[in-house]
Amino acid sequence: MPVSPVACPGCKTRVTIPTPPSEDEVAAALLLDSPISEDTPSASEVNTSEPDCYDSDPLSKTERKNTLLKQFEDPPQAKIPVGGQLHAPPSKPKVSPVKSNDPPGWFRHLHWLLIAALIPLAFSLLRKPSEADEPIPRLLRTLENSNPEVEHRITAALESSNDPEAAFERIFEILPQHKFDGAFLPRNSKLHWLFAGLSATVFLIFIYSLSLFGTADPKRLLWIGLFTGTVGVLMLFLFQYIADATYGVTLIGRSVLIIFFYIVKFIGFSYRAATDPDNGFLLSFVGFTLGVGFCEEVCKAVPLLFKHSQQESQSWRNAFLWGMASGAGFGISEAVVYAGGQYNGISSSGIYLVRFISCVALHALWTGSAAITIQQKPDWVNTDGWFEYGASLFRILAIPIVLHGLYDTFLKKDMNALALLTALASFGYLAFQLSRLQGEDDRNRTDAMLRDYQRKKKAMA
């Protein structure tokens, strides 16, 4: 058994005892009160003499026993402060878990709120139409409820004017409330501008929510909407004016300008075919598709095409938000034009909800879909000649143009259920595009995380 020296607590004399001893063996070796076990060293190896200090500084046997035993106890453990931690011995570094910086799940499906914007349209189209809501019955009811003097003044104004539009506006000036019976706003009201501001605020907040997590710059989206709502609409009016001016004009030649003239002339013909109430479904569809749909979708796509021409890298999310902002700006501006020219003084309140909410959402859907196609198919736009560029542009905008044309044609022919289905199909097409692109992003992101994990694991092996 190994032995270890122990200092006497009284005189510091070194005493050699077996170690590690049991409690009884220590007492027997030092105090000679019991025999030592067979494994204990011999007397020549162990100093069993009592130190002289016991006489000068007497201690009881129990006290000396306890004092010596304390020297064989484990050293005191360091106290851990409150809230502290014991540091484990260093171990082999582990590979950090794979993490993803994906936006939350609700962000991926936020575009489904556009369905809510189509609710006013659904109520308007599915309710049973009434002849009493038409302008002429409203005017007749208004004349019946007016005093004879007002009725006489209106009759005189209609008979004395050769311009139907001027006579129509004169009626509202004569009416005491400047509106037909059941109309929501007077003819000269400017309240529809407030509706435009509210609509712009709602769609701006919605598009801003879609641009969270650094998808797009909200200020730039605002400017895109303002551009299309002003410059884009003015471009449309100018194009319509030029197309209408070609009516009855014939040019002969082979130059590019002559070809362009007849293209514009055909678009003018399409506009007239769309608005002519005597035309059937097919001719109306051609007019609304190649005239109204094509021109409006091209005007809304101008900011998107300009962005593409800058050769700047743009994600599909960014392109989608650009398209949404451009379409919403155009839709709000169009709603202001319709409200001031066709609704004020004539229509009830429901049409304002449809025009400033549902129709704005439809324009945003169509242009958002076109923006995704431009971003996904850049080679379709990268052409040299003007005719090739025009053909490629129609190819890119084909689905929004056809959906736009179908929707307007169904409305013209009072096929309200089919018009609503076309609006839902427009949303379905956009949802399909977004779902497919999100799935591709998920697969690419998963592959990238796995490659990063394998790289780290290999580096730490």
Question: Does residue 134 form part of some domain?
Answer: no
Question: Does residue 269 form part of some domain?
Answer: yes
Distance in angstroms (rounded) separating the CA atoms of residues 185 and 343: 8
Q: For residue 441, is pLDDT > 80? A: no
* Residue 386 confidence class, pLDDT cut points 50, 70, 90: confident
Q: Choose one of 57, 72, 95: the last residue of a domain.
A: 57
* Residue 55 confidence class, pLDDT cut points 50, 70, 90: very low
If asked whether residues 224 and 366 sit together in one domain, one would say yes
Question: Does residue 162 form part of some domain?
Answer: no
Q: What percent of the chain has pLDDT over 70?
A: 74
Strand partners, 15: 6
The pLDDT of 125-132, averaged and rounded, is: 77
User: What mean pLDDT is reported for the chain?
Assistant: 80
More confident residue, 380 or 436: 436
Q: For residue 39, is pLDDT > 60? A: no
The pLDDT of 250-279, averaged and rounded, is: 86
Q: For residue 194, is pLDDT > 90? A: yes
The pLDDT of 327-335, averaged and rounded, is: 96
Question: Does residue 170 form part of some domain?
Answer: no
Question: Does residue 361 form part of some domain?
Answer: yes
Question: Does residue 183 form part of some domain?
Answer: no
pLDDT on residue 43: 46
Q: Choose one of 57, 83, 99: the last residue of a domain.
A: 57
As for how many domains the chain has, the answer is 2
Which of 14-28, 274-288, 314-328, 427-441 comes out lowest in average pLDDT? 14-28
Q: Which domain holds residue 396?
A: 190-449
Question: Does residue 252 form part of some domain?
Answer: yes
Range picked from 130-144, 159-173, 360-374 for highest mean pLDDT: 360-374
Question: Does residue 367 form part of some domain?
Answer: yes
Q: Choose one of 29, 57, 85: the last residue of a domain.
A: 57
* Residue 215 confidence class, pLDDT cut points 50, 70, 90: low
Look up residue 13 and give its amino acid.
T
